[in-house]
């Protein structure tokens, strides 16, 4: 059986072909992109700070940060995902450094900030990764853009049924090329979080301090605007920015 890290890399290499068909993945909607720029600017130090974007994927956050004047290094385990990001950066004339590698072995820096969006849930050893990021950003800032997908109460289960019906009605394709392997998910401590509390604990375990959190209502609002009537409300989940200091 393949190592869990190899399985994760292979999943995202395959997903690179379909990942950007979801506007929220690519931040391709101009209104949502504007909301993300505001969130990035609020959370990060002033440009031209040097920023490491971990799990950069097809480059949504890295590109937006570079547009704001940050000096960005984009790190991802998947060459396939970073190939998409490189192509976008070239088309937009943005100078971004791209590094293929594991989240637990980041470039040495030093960086003024480390950011990620929806990445820590894919990490088998999140505290180890967070500690490595802190070593790459001594005296810097941590910024996590995250959401809560792990609720399984009666209301959420009813929403899931309705979402499935809406997606069939509007012929909306799956957000990914496939579902994550359950055996892989079982090895990911932060997968499907029911609240932000476990994430906050692991940030402290990684050596970061002064954790603060802010709900991203503007991002949630722009995503609802993009969706067919009713679906946006059903799919809406809490999005938040979590920041901490080295």
Question: For 226, left (φ over 0), alpha (ψ -120 to 50), or beta?
Answer: alpha
How far is 82 from 84, CA to CA, in rounded Å? 5
How far is 200 from 142, CA to CA, in rounded Å? 12
- Residues 96-113 pLDDT 10s: 999 999 999 999 989 999
Q: For residue 147, give its domain range.
A: 4-245
Q: What share of the chain is helix, strand, coil (3-state, %, to 5)?
A: 45, 15, 35
- Residues 121-164 pLDDT 10s: 999 999 999 999 999 999 999 999 999 876 666 665 666 666 56
The pLDDT of residue 55 is 97
Q: Residues 117-124: what's their mean pLDDT?
A: 94
- Residues 196-215 pLDDT 10s: 999 999 999 999 999 999 99
How far is 75 from 140, CA to CA, in rounded Å? 17
Q: What is the CATH number of the domain that holds 181?
A: 3.40.50.150
Rounded to two decimals, what is the model's pTM?
A: 0.89
The pLDDT of residue 156 is 58
Q: Residues 163-185: what's their mean pLDDT?
A: 74
Q: How many domains is the chain partitioned into structurally?
A: 1
């Amino acid at each position: 059986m393949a190592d869990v890290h190899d399985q994760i890399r292979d999943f995202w290499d395959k997903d690179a072909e379909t990942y950007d068909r979801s506007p929220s993945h690519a931040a391709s909607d101009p209104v949502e992109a504007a909301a993300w720029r505001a969130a990035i600017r609020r959370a990060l130090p002033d440009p031209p700070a040097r920023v490491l974007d971990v799990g950069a994927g097809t480059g949504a956050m890295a590109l937006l940060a570079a547009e704001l004047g940050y000096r960005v290094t984009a790190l991802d385990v998947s060459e396939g995902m970073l190939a998409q990001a490189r192509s976008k950066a070239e088309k937009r004339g943005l100078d971004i450094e791209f590094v293929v590698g594991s989240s637990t072995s980041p470039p040495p820096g030093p960086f003024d900030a480390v950011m990620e969006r929806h990445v820590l849930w894919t990490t088998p050893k999140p505290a180890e990764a967070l500690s490595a990021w802190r070593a790459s950003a001594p005296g810097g800032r941590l910024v996590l853009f995250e959401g809560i997908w792990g609720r399984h109460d009666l209301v959420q289960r009813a929403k899931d049924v309705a979402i499935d019906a809406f997606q069939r009605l509007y012929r909306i394709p799956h957000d990914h090329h496939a579902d994550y392997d359950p055996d892989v998910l079982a090895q990911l401590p932060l997968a499907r979080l029911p609240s932000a509390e476990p994430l906050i604990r692991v940030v402290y375990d990684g050596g970061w301090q002064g954790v603060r959190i802010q709900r991203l209502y503007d991002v949630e609002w722009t995503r609802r605007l993009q969706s067919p009537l009713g679906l946006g409300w059903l799919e809406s989940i809490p999005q938040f920015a979590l920041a901490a200091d080295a």
